[in-house]
Structure 1
Amino acid sequence: MKAAEFDEIAPGYDESRGGTARAAGFAEQLAPLLDPARPVLDIGVGTGIVAAELTARGHTVHGVDLSPGMLSRAKARLGARVAVGDACRLPVRSGSVDQAVSTWLLHAGPDNRAVLAEVARVLRPGGRYLVIPAGGTRPTDDIGLLVGELEDRLDPEGSRRDGPEWLAPIGAAHGLVYEGTASERPTSFRVSPRAMAESLTRGLFTGAWAVGGEASRLVDETRSRLLALPDPDVPRVRETADVVLVFHRGT
């Protein structure tokens, strides 16, 4: 995960991810699982769009993100409660955080193991960590099958996977107990194969941010396969579900 890559896509990031409506939906899922009397650390706060929605629901949210470009937008929403920081090396004292959240973070970094280790370090015993995985459950339409195959080939060891089957054992190794899925919100959206291919070209699909010649070849191959699908300009209705994974720091 490089700050410059997020800086580049910051201007159109919110709109490409569902905008305020989707952020409000995420906040509706997260808010009932958080204690409004205690501050929340948003790890990978990005533009602050979800944190702002949590703030509107009575929570005090502090945010950390690697990208100054993203944080400039978060600061406009949250003021001074944001800081530049790497999720793999959080600028936070050990055992000082009561509750933390991450929305669409763990798929975008170089190593989710390092992030979970840091979360375990900064949480107090019993502290809670809520994760909304990127994209929710995998769509099984023709676009989803190709993109899912690309994700698997780019990351065969799971260092950037954010599903519970990957995160639960990693968290356990660092003292984070996986409680399960606490919220699931069905959602759908429309996108054409050509639009998805263009998102790969423009770097909007963070799952394809692996570097190196082989990664570039795989991305190019997937773009070609997307454009070869029947009716590539016709949007598909893609069904998925946004979920919240719940962890707590063991005592």
Structure 2
Amino acid sequence: MAETVLDYEAEAAHYDRTRGGVPRAGAAAEAVLRLVPPGSRTLLDLACGTGLVTERLTRPGLRVYGADAAHAMLRVAADRAPGRVVRADARRLPLPDASLDAVSAVWLLHLVPFATEIVAEAARVLRPGGVLIATVDKDAAHDVGSDIDAILRPYRSAGAASDRTELIAGCAAAHGLAPRPGTRFTGHGQGGTPRDTVRKLRAGYFASWFSGDPAVVETLAAALAALPDPDRPRADPRYRLACFVRQG
């Protein structure tokens, strides 16, 4: 994983405010809908969190549901999608085989060491012709040529990322999911500042890139602290959405 797994029960109260809010959620929802085939009737938004993206996944004839493992997140999501969210482990969904037309997993697979299990479970609940839509290569999305990226890039371990494209595509193929063209969208409000990046480093973010070595943390923190304009956000990331279709 590229980041420390957060306590999402505690994060719920300020999650939207610190994650780009409505502009970021709207861009994500619009991108997901571009990949949902016409005529689809059901979409499950995995790890829906506070439901900010879920409530924007709207299309005539499409019924959208959300699932998350955190009670606090779901309490917020329930106000945005009444009667359409459920507490569930993305590896063990309370759904029968071949029961959905689409499954989305936005900003999920990079967080967990069991991303392949989530892909397998999505394949199980998708009907033939149904699609899995998921963000992949999240760390690389932040590599937008800024001075922060120049410092962090040598330590970024793409091979260890649980959402790397080759891993997800390989698992998808093993479970009857064939690739189809994906898309990209902007992570509005996610361009980091040097000062905030130092805070994240010391809080344990990115630790898997260098096995949490305290000496590396301090070396990187010093380099980041020396950058100009420490509170100026750098360029927003461009996230990649991969898409896979369930074979008949």
Q: Same fold (TM over 0.5)?
A: yes
Tell me which residue corresponds to 1:185: 185
Secondary structure of residue in 2 paired with 1:243: strand
Alpha-carbon offset, residue 78 of structure 1: 0.5
Task: Evaluate the alpha carbon distance shift between residue 173 and residue 11 of structure 1 in structure 2; reply closer, same or farther with a 3 A threshold.
Answer: same
The answer to whether structure 1 residue 96 and structure 2 residue 99 are counterparts is yes
The answer to whether structure 1 residue 220 and structure 2 residue 225 are counterparts is no
Tell me which residue corresponds to 1:21: 23
For residue 141 of structure 1, the aligned residue among 133, 139, 146 is: 146
Alpha-carbon offset, residue 142 of structure 1: 2.7
Deviations 1:142-187 (A, max 9, x none): 32244455551xx7443x2x24333212211222111132x23356
Task: Evaluate the alpha carbon distance shift between residue 81 and residue 167 of structure 1 in structure 2; reply closer, same or farther with a 3 A threshold.
Answer: same
For residue 113 of structure 2, the aligned residue among 105, 110, 113 is: 110
- Segments of structure 2 that go 5 or more residues without pairing to the other structure are none
Tell me which residue corresponds to 2:33: 31
Secondary structure of residue in 2 paired with 1:237: coil
Q: How far apart, CA to CA, are the structure 1 residues paired with 2:83 and 2:219? A: 42
TM-score for both structures, normalised by structure 1: 0.81
Identity among equivalent pairs (%): 31
Secondary structure of residue in 2 paired with 1:140: coil
The answer to whether structure 1 residue 9 and structure 2 residue 11 are counterparts is yes
Alpha-carbon offset, residue 199 of structure 1: 3.4
- Segments of structure 1 that go 5 or more residues without pairing to the other structure are none
Q: How far apart, CA to CA, are the structure 2 residues paired with 1:122 and 1:216? A: 41
Q: How far apart, CA to CA, are the structure 1 residues paired with 2:23 and 2:83? A: 24
Q: How far apart, CA to CA, are the structure 2 residues paired with 1:18 and 1:236? A: 12
Q: Is the 8 A contact 2:42 2:101 kept in 1?
A: yes
> Aligned ranges for residues 77-92 of structure 1 at < 5 Å?
77-92=80-95
Task: Evaluate the alpha carbon distance shift between residue 200 and residue 80 of structure 1 in structure 2; reply closer, same or farther with a 3 A threshold.
Answer: farther
Q: How far apart, CA to CA, are the structure 2 residues paired with 1:36 and 1:136? A: 33
Tell me which residue corresponds to 2:174: 173
Q: Is the 8 A contact 2:48 2:68 kept in 1?
A: yes
Q: Is the 8 A contact 2:193 2:233 kept in 1?
A: yes
Task: Evaluate the alpha carbon distance shift between residue 186 and residue 13 of structure 1 in structure 2; reply closer, same or farther with a 3 A threshold.
Answer: closer
Tell me which residue corresponds to 1:247: 244
- Number of residues of Structure 1 aligned to a counterpart in Structure 2: 240
TM-score for both structures, normalised by structure 2: 0.82
| Matched residue type, 1:193 | P
Q: How far apart, CA to CA, are the structure 2 residues paired with 1:144 and 1:65? A: 31
Higher mean C-alpha displacement, 227-236 vs 82-91? 227-236
